[in-house]
Amino acid sequence: MDLSTFEKDNSVSCRLASQIPDVCRTEDCCLGIDEAGRGPVLGPMVYGICFCPVSKKEELKDLKVADSKTLTEAERENLFQKLDEARSYVGWALEILSPNTISTSMLQRTKYNLNALSHDTAIGLVQYSLESGVQLKEIYVDTVGPAEKYEEKLSQLFPGIKVTVRPKADSLFPIVSAASICAKVARDCVVKGWKFAEDMGEVDTDYGSGYPNDPKTKAWLLKHLDPVFGYPQFVRFSWSTAQTLMDSKAVTVHWYDEEEDGEKAAQRQNNRSMLSYFSASGGGIDQNPTHQTHRFFTERRLRSLDTL
């Protein structure tokens, strides 16, 4: 699998895809969707789709694809090779969501959680296949969130296509298993070959599983935490595991926010804000606005003189 496009800049997300088989442009097709790396605190999350003609379902089944989590790394790579060799009727596409993309999405001002990011990524891949000319008639999805709501959402977005959303779909439908294998192989390759943009010297690549509860992963996070700059972009800094370590081990930094409400800014700096001079509960001071304004600027001038 050629990952060079992503490796050029692993701080942003990237889409990779196979050639579209000619038969997928002329025959009714089924498509499976699954992801790899949703839970880890390290590395990207990869969404994958795999598609083939409905008439080729049995041939796909004969390849003995299975849920990627039940397979060894060698077995997954072998099955991906078989899928690649079946390129005359099997196509795939991947969206590699960088750790940086995941964290900045989840921490932006407008709430955008991992489920929403997952849904939008899956929808984008389906749309890509349709725009590429794949004649989709069936979509099978491993659920994210409540299956019924997700199925209804996809059915409304893609009318005329039969959508099936199920928990553990990667163990129920071979086309989803195939998507799972593509996604997992890609993630494994990315993690193994990760190029650190940061100047970190010699980096210990024994990450463990990358999951927050793995002792090896926790030890790696502790070892590579910079007290000022935090973590390299390999780490999903929005994960609570990373945030807890930064809160306890890193230097506290106070940021000035130009958009911050004046009252909140004043409270944070232990000062009175201008607005407090106009509040209804002004502490017994004259409530006349003209007098209040004069009082505010008089006190401000006096404080300025004190600093001379």
- Binding region: 34-35, 142
Q: How many residues does the chain have?
A: 308
What distance in Å separates the CA atoms of residue 25 and residue 21, rounded to the nearest whole number? 7
Give the list of residues 6+ apart from residue 53 with CB closer than 8 angstroms, or none.
23, 24, 27, 28, 29, 30, 89
Q: Which residues are annotated as a binding site for a divalent metal cation?
A: 34-35, 142
Q: Which single residue is written with the structure tokens 């004969």?
A: 62
Amino acid at 29: C
Report the C-alpha gap between 235 and 244 in whole angstroms.
Answer: 13
Strand 29-36, strand 136-142: pairing: parallel
